[in-house]
Structure 1
Amino acid sequence: MGYKHNKEDILEVGYQLIRKNGYHHVGINQILKEAGIPKGSFYNFFESKEDFAREVIQYYGERNRKWLDDIFKESKESPINTLKSFYKILIGYNEDDNFCSGCLINNMGNEIGRLYDVLAEETKEQFDQWLDLIADVVRKGQEVGEITDRFTAKEIANYLHSGFYGTFFKMKVERSRKDMDTWLTMTFEFIKA
């Protein structure tokens, strides 16, 4: 009996390859080799490389949304400190990765922009769903008077996460967390009530 290929395993391989190398620098043959699957099996799961990348984005987004939700639900800290701790975790992950890869959603958004509407839309969808979770914590911080209410919770969530993603460029080229740490300090001063 032949080996049954697990779609999630193929998506995990795709996530690792695309996150580290970018969409345009990963070919289907490389995916096949790394996943240990024949070409026919790939096309049983995915219509094209673009369809594969869309599902990789969705897989990564959903997995991270659950992780984010768990962090926020399990936190015993105040809302503002919950958010600060979350971003410290992300900074630590990037440092552990030697500042090489960053976030798949950020990387894909920068690389593909509006070149591939389907991928851009999926990237935006995943990012927006993360923002909803961050906005819930911001809202709680506003309700207890820790976080400014001069802007909506969603606007502050967007400011937080977009600003953090903005530090990835310098993080990668300088191989340093310096700008991420500066962003963290300044940002949480700015959003304080």
Structure 2
Amino acid sequence: MTVAEKHVQARRRILESARPLIGMRGFSAVGLSQILEAANIPKGSFYHYFESKEHFGAALLELYNEQYMESLDALIAQKGKTGFEKLSIYCQCWIDAQHNGRLSGKCLVVKLAAEVSDLSERMRLILEEGTTGIVDRLARIIEEGQKDGSITKELPARQMASVVYQTWLGATLLVKVTHQPVPFEEAFAVTRRLVAA
């Protein structure tokens, strides 16, 4: 393995190791030493991999966006399922990710949007790009459902996708506040009523 490959691998390990910490505590509350300790990287070497903590945060969000889009693309590519079934799978995966105890599964948009949007324009733009990409992909699923007859055509697919995504973001915030699953149950019921043909 070349020096450049080792550098890329170590950088990725830092990002993946830091995600659960930041998903639990937030961006500002996690120090550089904690990030390096989690990744088993020598202290003092952070700036060898990232120009600043903001650059690190941007890279973390870019990786999160990339992985999230890959999972949505895989869902879109599934054969033999209606658009409604795919959208239901998406909603159930959202619930499972928030309740399975894996901090790496937590939604970084929910955790970081308010915090980093005020701290860093660069990070805000990456979050905006990610949320736009999610809504675009949900709109593709909804369009599929509108074509196969499993999803209503009462609203344009993009508008419906935006409402669905906003509903789930809000439900996740309320679950964090209440420590109860009811907001997810309500979000699922509302989503089904909104989209069902």
Question: Taking structure 2 as the reference length, what is the TM-score of the superposition?
Answer: 0.87
Q: Does the Cα contact within 8 Å between 1:98 and 1:175 map onto a contact in 2?
A: no
Amino acid in the other structure paired with 1:105: V
- 8 Å contact kept, 2:23–2:103: no
Corresponding letter in the other structure for 2:139 = A
Alignment partner of 1:54 is 2:53: no
After TM superposition, the structure 1 stretch with the greater mean CA deviation from structure 2, 143-152 or 27-36, is 143-152
Does structure 1 retain, via aligned residues, the 8 Å contact 2:152–2:196?
A: yes
Larger deviation: 16-25 or 104-113? 104-113
Q: CA separation of 1:78/1:103 partners in 2, compared to 1, >3 Å: closer, same or farther?
A: same
| SS of 1:176 mapped into structure 2 | coil
Structure 1 unaligned residues grouped into runs of 5+: none
Instruction: Pick the aligned partner of 1:30 from 21, 30, 34.
Output: 34
Secondary structure at the aligned position of 1:113 is classed as: helix
In structure 2, how many angstroms separate the alpha carbons of the residues matched to 1:142 and 1:83?
12
For residues 80-124 of structure 1, the C-alpha deviation after alignment (integer angstroms, 9 at most, x for no partner) is 111012211221221212899730122111222333111110111
**Equivalent residue, structure 2, for 1:71:** 75
SS in 2 for 1:25: coil
Report whether the alignment pairs 1:141 with 2:145: yes
- Give the direction of change, closer, same or farther, for the CA distance of 1:95–1:75 in structure 2 (3 Å limit): farther
- The answer to whether the 8 A contact 2:65-2:130 is kept is yes
Output the aligned Cα RMSD: 2.2
Q: Report the TM-score when normalising by structure 1.
A: 0.89
Q: Work out the CA distance in 2 between the residues paired with 1:11 and 1:183.
A: 31
Asked if residue 92 in structure 1 is aligned to residue 87 in structure 2, the reply is no
**Structure 2, unpaired ranges of 5+:** none
User: 2:119 maps to which residue?
Assistant: 115
